[in-house]
Chains A and B, each alone.
Chain A
């Protein structure tokens, strides 16, 4: 009893300490420029290629990493603090004062920040197509049944990896790979160029000294090997074979990058990958596409000609309805390949617990789309096949970052990107477009209920008033109606409340400057505007977004954004 009291006392003291620490915080805005670029592109010595161990990664992340988590008392105490309401989540390490991710060797400002046209999104990263008019030369072969393929060099000297669809699902894998590559590119990630190509099978020759491995034995590649690879592959009416052409990236591949830790031989790699927002928030983008096989092995680091390491996301053959050359089944996206949470529940319930995916018929309406549905999709519960530390660390703010990127793609944008998959059945293509739209909206509805979705702030002076304009992403994304949304705000300066509980029905707040701070001071004045979004009739809890505006000589400037979780 004595020990129990002592323990409770200790925990109580700890909670108070946490509370005090929680109250302490640095200034939530900057008076200098806002960081928009993280300089991780400095020249470094050429690193060795890192080997890829895809099975160990899976074993480690599924077992040992899960055991390590509670043993990290920082994490455990934070969890306890969160339960007590005195601590927050461990936030990402590379977020600027506007709650944004600066550009870097990992991420670039694209569609959300600088809207791209549907045509630009459809083009994506592509700069060249394989030259199908002239002969291809195979310089490496891969014999793995339905997954067989080869590497070619076209007459222009460009090199491509050529992959095919599975025999049972024509167009499925190649379309998924191309469409998801475009979406990830538009989202801001670096991806390899990929395109659908139709080539004349007679226009391909095997280069000198090309070898293949069969059952562990290496031997020269024969014409018959080539014919076996292309046998039964889908063709168009001209007899040309459909394939995915993925262009070799510029620079030298130096192995995969991981979703945890940093690379020891890269001095630019300073932020732990599990605490990079663009990797944490990727979970939402991956959930949209049912990108179930996202893991270390499906990434690529490239040592560029500028002598730094660039980080690419690749291998999108397990997205949308495709699971490699086969199709996804209902469990994909709903549970890990080995998921102790569900296993324990199933064991204890003696079979009485019916797991969510057991209740869904694995209907495949269109072979070219595979199993890809919106109805069973649960944005908040989506997981890839194996746990990824960065995905596990995703906070509400990270999720919001990912969700606003997903929501930035309009229906027309989606249609333009889906068309690059060249699905021959218009109904199947339309089904895929509509499913992506429905899943996108589910993401918006889910995440924008949990955090105040106001963003894209602009401040100006108009008629002696400070006007703060913003977008309610729930309204601009058409997941909530503008007529049933209004906003309340407080205006503060140096902890002094200047306006309180004001209400506006549209996304513009006007603050009379005479109510604001005095002029002619050395440092610019910073006002804080606390905005909550209200949607009467819904069960959404209004959370606050704090926007800091500096009144500078050149005009007002947004210098800080804080979001309540």
Chain B
């Protein structure tokens, strides 16, 4: 039976029921009860209308016509029981307030490395001292696919904040592509086991100037990935092995932007420089510098909440004399933060340049829609940068603007190679 035929049959049945069990179209459907359920207490006069209570009623036909709404109503009640339970037991969840401490489960699906990986986030916002936050993040998919991270932030250290992080991650399948002109067929797979510890000191010198000093130790072991799944074949032997890197560096950021929580005007500039040195048998010594410039502009004929965000980022590694740079430290493009329409780490070379233009506009007090275009390329040297070498993606997204508690971002990005759905729910814990 075709859909129109089914629809018209349903309509005929419904109208028939209306005819057979007619509701009072213009008037009310009140029936004055001849025998009130409870004895009247206000008057003894049986004929007085004040002794006959009003009551709402529906005919059988009206109930039948309302059946679809009843079905939806009763199928959604279990959701109500769940929400009521949460409201009763965890009222703070509804106030979008994150408690001072807690443990939250999470899981990850869709990875090639494990069908499903389970994890927890545990945190305490006042660990050892008020304002000092301890956070643990663990994900376990299998013996060869897992990651663990422990962070501790001391909110008052000298005139700033001190962050101490330690992490371990094991991933048997990471992708390696080539430079700017590489194709998907060049993909190679490698495994990585990483142990890292870092220390960072942050200080807000003035409302517009922030400084950061950082140091880290990283031990990374690269192994061969699944060659059968590597169209580009196995990675070169010289890339295999263990590297221990020490990095120290610093960065400064100038923030002249206006608008909170929606930034609508002004520039934000950040520049950072890191020096890295291998401390095992490998000979790696290099500098990494990063310059970022973001600029926000309101659309002049509309309220300030409709704004353009222009973002640019230049990143480059420079080997120091007679030494090299490990491939995993090369700048890359292709993540949910830069070239969003390409697969992860799609392009990798000595340098990367990213340009992004976003038009952000509110659809509600706490929600924005975003239309964006990303342009990016990686390069060996600055002379290799050409307009025609930019890779382009575009997309749209939905962002929830949250003053605290959590942030939510979902985006759809498209390129000539693939598309990507980005969903990011980050509790600010």
Contacts and interface: CB of A to CB of B under 8 A. Distances in A.
A231 interface: no
Contact of B83 (A32, A55, A78, A81): A55
A56 B14 contact: no
Given A56-B87, A64-B72, A272 B15 contact: no
Interface in B67-85: 68-69, 71-73, 76, 79-80, 83-84
A262 B53 CA distance: 14
Contacts of A504: none
A331 interface: yes
Interface residues of A, number: 78
A342 B56 contact: no
A37 B42 contact: yes
Nearest to A331: B365
B236 interface: no
Interface in B300-321: 302-303, 305-306
Nearest to A103: B50
B155 to A, nearest CB: 19
B422 interface: no
Contact of A270 (B2, B22, B24, B53): B53
B104 interface: no
Nearest to A28: B27
Contact of A88 (B2, B25, B66, B99): B25
Given A3-B5, A4-B4, A271-B55, A69 B28 contact: no
Interface in A64-109: 64, 67-69, 71-74, 77-78, 81, 86-88, 91-96, 102
Interface in A11-39: 11, 13-14, 17-18, 21-22, 24-26, 30, 32-39
A39 B51 contact: yes
A25 B302 contact: no
Q: What is the predominant secondary structure among interface residues of chain A facing chain B?
A: loop
A53 B15 contact: no
Contact of B36 (A39, A71, A91): A39
A56 B80 contact: yes
B62 A41 contact: no
A55 B25 contact: no
B50 A346 contact: no
B406 to A, nearest CB: 16
B18 interface: yes
B38 interface: yes
B27 A270 contact: no
A272 B2 contact: no
A517 interface: no
Nearest to B48: A33
Contacts of A94: 30, 54
Contacts of B55: 93, 270-271
Contacts of A522: none
Interface in A432-458: none
B72 A67 contact: yes
A351 B83 contact: no
A6 B8 contact: yes
Interface in B264-304: 299, 302-303
Given A30-B49, A32-B47, A351-B302, A342 B364 contact: yes
Given A81-B25, A93-B56, A346-B362, A36 B50 contact: yes
Contact of B54 (A7, A270, A358): A270
B361 interface: yes
Q: Which of A4, A10, A352 has the largest number of chain B CB atoms within 10 A?
A: A10
A51 B66 CA distance: 28
A87 B25 contact: yes
B68 A343 contact: no
B302 A77 contact: no
Interface in A325-377: 331, 338-339, 342-343, 346-347, 350-352, 354, 358
19 contacts: A7-B7, A10-B8, A17-B18, A30-B49, A35-B52, A56-B87, A64-B72, A72-B65, A91-B27, A102-B50, A216-B99, A267-B38, A270-B53, A339-B364, A346-B362, A351-B299, A351-B306, A351-B361, A354-B302
List 4 tightest A-B contacts by C-beta distance, closest first.
A351-B361, A3-B4, A270-B55, A35-B49
Interface of A: 3-4, 6-7, 10-11, 13-14, 17-18, 21-22, 24-26, 30, 32-44, 51, 53-56, 59-60, 64, 67-69, 71-74, 77-78, 81, 86-88, 91-96, 102, 215-216, 262, 267-268, 270-272, 275, 331, 338-339, 342-343, 346-347, 350-352, 354, 358
Given A14-B11, A39-B40, A267-B37, 19 more contacts: A3-B4, A7-B7, A10-B11, A18-B25, A22-B25, A32-B49, A39-B50, A44-B38, A51-B88, A56-B87, A68-B69, A81-B25, A86-B25, A342-B364, A351-B299, A352-B302, A354-B302, A354-B303, A358-B305
